[in-house]
Amino acid sequence: DHFIPAAVDHIVSRSEYYTAYTPYQAEVSQGTLQAIYEFQSLICELTGMDVANASMYDGATAVAEAALLAHAETRRNEILVAGSVNPSYREVLSTYCRSLRLKVRNLPLNEGLVDLEAVKKNVSEKVACVILQSPNFFGSIENTDQIESLTHSVGALLVLACAPISLGILKTPGEYNADIAVGEGQALGNNLSFGGPYLGYFACKRNLIRRMPGRMVGATTDTHRRRGFVLTLQTREQHIRREKATSNICTNQALCALASCVYLSLLGKSGIKKVAFLCLQKSHYAFDEITKIEGFKKRFDAPFFKEFVVKTPIPPKRIIRSLIKRNLFPGIDLAQFDRKLKNCLLVCVTEKRTKEEIDYLVDELRRLI
């Protein structure tokens, strides 16, 4: 739930953009194509990667498509995914891989982070890729450098899922030497909208470009030597190669991608950095205040970005039911994902939350105890 400048919704609502038209005919689609090209360029700059596509359906499908790319590139059939990756992402990944008979193995956790010893034990020359999320589902920042070294030592690909806002202050996937960077782009100028439509971003190293799923827009020159934009490398796609395409996706989330493009352009580098810093600052303030309440304790010691987990003295379901009546949504009960995390609440604080709102949450939590 991030702040969205008013200009974002105004621009994406213009009739030139607010359409279901697919830009196959480049000569009549230059505006749409340029918007997608600018989105790709901004994602590359944000992630530090070489190339990006026109967007995926959401973060979950981007993760799944990354696994399929790794399988196609390495010709290996095992996928290792950290247990700290969003459970919804892992479910979609399993669904994609099941029909292709790819073996998906979940790596166990150690204090909210993927267990490095488990990574060492499981990486082998049978592994196509290791999928990691940082900041992970619990908000913790993973030991990505060590996992990158272990992954590449056996010739596997590293897939790194990142919250795009976090890249304003944290190291980028490119700086971690990740092969593929994926993630959910909803936070970049798109409303929550009760779960969709969203967009996934997908970027990778240049050597993987011909295996990358989805559409790509490239810049070129026309017969009059004027700059123009076209759908490029289309022979990878389903509308041409049919069953031999690199992916089943034959579209993109262009309107959501445009919103992200406008958002990133309006904020710029300094703006994204400021938003990320405010998320970091306010979430740590909330964490410090909540853990001062009797019975509320920190669950993990790892550094976090904007989400954190606290152990609660009473069932989180009771806390959630009570605070919703006071127009507060305190977080997510983690027991629904892992029984070991009974009485654990996942809390998220963004730049939109004021000190007064955080203090109000703390006061209401204290009242419940």
Above 90 in pLDDT, residue 239?
no
C-alpha 66/C-alpha 93 separation (Å) is 9
C-alpha 347/C-alpha 363 separation (Å) is 15
- List phi, psi (to 5°) of 35: -60, -45
**For the domain with range 269-367, which CATH number is right: 3.90.1150.10, 3.40.50.300, 3.20.20.80, 3.90.180.10?**
3.90.1150.10
Place of tokens 């499908």: 61
Report which of 68, 38, 67 is spatially closest to residue 55, judged by C-alpha positions. 38
Residues 108-136: what's their mean pLDDT? 96
Q: What is the pLDDT of residues 13-69, one digit of tens each?
A: 988 888 756 666 777 788 888 999 999 999 999 999 999 999 999 999 999 999 999
The strand pair at 127-133 and 78-82 is best described as parallel
Above 70 in pLDDT, residue 235?
no
Which residues of the chain are in CATH 3.90.1150.10 domains? 269-367
Above 80 in pLDDT, residue 249?
no
pLDDT value of residue 29: 82
**Around Cβ 195, how many Cβ atoms within 10 Å?**
8
Range 15-264 classified under CATH 2.70.98.40? no
Residues 211-240: what's their mean pLDDT? 83
pLDDT value of residue 136: 97
What value does the mean pLDDT of the chain take?
93
Q: What is the pLDDT of residues 279-309, one digit of tens each?
A: 999 999 999 999 999 999 999 999 999 999 9
Residues 347-359: what's their mean pLDDT? 96
Report which of 169, 170, 199 is spatially closest to residue 183, judged by C-alpha positions. 199
Helix 355-368 and helix 316-324, axial crossing angle in degrees, nearest 10: 120
pLDDT value of residue 15: 84
CB contact set of 121 (below 8 Å; sequence gap of 6+): none
CB contact set of 179 (below 8 Å; sequence gap of 6+): 70, 129, 157, 158, 159, 204, 205, 208
Choice between 142 and 223, residue whose per-residue pLDDT is larger: 142
Task: Give CA angle at 246 (264, 205), nearest 5°.
Answer: 50
Report which of 160, 182, 217 is spatially closest to residue 43, judged by C-alpha positions. 182
C-alpha 153/C-alpha 130 separation (Å) is 12
Which residues of the chain are in CATH 3.40.640.10 domains? 15-264
Q: What is the pLDDT of residues 164-206, one digit of tens each?
A: 999 999 999 999 999 999 999 999 999 998 888 899 999 999 9
Consecutive H or E run containing 323: helix 316-324
- List phi, psi (to 5°) of 185: -100, 10
